[in-house]
Amino acid sequence: MIIYLDTGSLVKLYVEETHATKVREWVEEAELVATCRVAFPETISALDRRFREGDFSKQDYELLIGGFAKDWQNFVVLDFDEIESGRLASRYGLRGFDAVHLSSAKIIRGDADLVLYFSCFDEKLNKAAVAEGLEVLLPD
């Protein structure tokens, strides 16, 4: 099983929040974990924002950033198609980086018979992913 994590799902690997345990279970079951290259700065930004909001100490923040940077080498890091991303943004009314993630997931799925599961917790993006033929993972 290949799982694609958008940034929101990726952050759940490092921060305790709703559905974090479920995302970690999915990742444990996966043969490959994929994400788009834009997820690196997005995740750093999300962790930095949480630190500035006082959700964790400086020491914990540094451990999280270091752990994420180390883990990054274990993910299948994908590019995206900017033209397809624009089409997806327009067709489904997606935010820019949501369209980028969907474009990226479609690249790894391609035309092959891969079993690819898409993990995201944004309802609009999930609906777009289903409409584009992706299998969306949802918590029970």
Q: Going edge to edge, which strands form the sheet with 2-5?
A: 76-78, 32-36, 2-5, 116-119, 135-137
pTM: 0.94
pLDDT in tens, 68-126: 999 999 999 999 999 999 999 999 999 999 999 999 999 988 766 778 999 999 999 99
Q: Which domains does the chain have, with CATH numbers?
A: 2-137 (3.40.50.1010)
- Over range 122-136, report the average pLDDT: 96
pLDDT in tens, 22-39: 999 999 999 999 999 999
Q: What is the pLDDT of residue 88?
A: 98
